[in-house]
Amino acid sequence: MRLLLIEDNLPLRDAISQYLSEAGYLVDVASAGDEGLWAADGGGHDLILLDLMLPKMDGMEILRRLRAKENQVHIIVISARDGLEDRLQALDAGADDYLVKPFPLSEALARVRALLRRNYGKKSPVMRIADLELDPMRRTVQRAGGPVELTALEYRLLEYLFYRAGEVVSRTDIWERVFEDGMGGSSNAVDVYIGYLRKKLNAGDRPDLIHTRRGQGYLLEDPS
């Protein structure tokens, strides 16, 4: 497995690189944003560890550019910014995980291993509920044959509801599985993003497929 570490702090970069190398990974490094984007564009990496505060180009810009090019490489953001809004912004832009500095190197390794266990090549074919379709391979959503534009975090939320279709899923479960366990803040953000999804999915007075079970959670199912 080949990793790319984009980090301008030399001692931290060397420490992470050495630790992951000793764990058996091939680790490429970059110290500036433009250099990191160039390396990421070259492809061949299974996962990127991306600092947000970089010279020449910040990490959020790199993240947005990679996702705009439909580059689906796993990305873990590593940052000293520990606010909820910072984390949501990164996840919404397409990050798979968010690790707050300082962190134990063992935790970074555990997060890397967890992400690499996700085998996107074996994702299910197109999933359908009523007139709603989700394609896990292309990461696209359609309703009544028309495209639905979702942010990365909205997509992750809908995908999780699809995988749990027909089940009542608690807000806590969604928070931990979709918004990343341990990121702090309040699970009330789940309600906010459910609202975002409903607004986009129900455009044109389409029937609501995400149902609220008061005191229990949310359920994705065909109402007919």
How does the average pLDDT of the chain come out, rounded? 87
**pLDDT tens track for 195-204:** 999 999 998 8
CATH of domain 123-220: 1.10.10.10
pLDDT at 182: 46
Per-residue DSSP letter, 51: E
Q: What are phi and psi of 172, to 5 degrees?
A: -65, -45
With 60 as the cut, is the pLDDT of residue 95 above it?
yes
pLDDT at 120: 47
What is the per-residue burial (b if ≥16 Cβ within 10 Å, else e) of 68-79?
A: eeebebbbbbbb
- 30 neighbors 5 (Cβ within 8 angstroms): yes
The mean pLDDT value for 61-79 works out to 91
CATH topology for 2-118 is: Rossmann fold (3.40.50)
**pLDDT tens track for 127-171:** 899 999 998 777 789 999 999 999 888 988 998 898 888 889 999
Share of the chain above pLDDT 90, in %: 55
What is the per-residue burial (b if ≥16 Cβ within 10 Å, else e) of 194-203?
A: beebeebbee
**pLDDT tens track for 33-48:** 999 999 898 767 889 9
With 80 as the cut, is the pLDDT of residue 181 above it?
no
Domain map (residue ranges) of the chain: 2-118, 123-220
With 60 as the cut, is the pLDDT of residue 105 above it?
yes
Lowest mean pLDDT, pick from 16-30, 91-105, 169-183: 169-183
- 17 neighbors 28 (Cβ within 8 angstroms): no
pLDDT at 5: 96
With 80 as the cut, is the pLDDT of residue 125 above it?
no
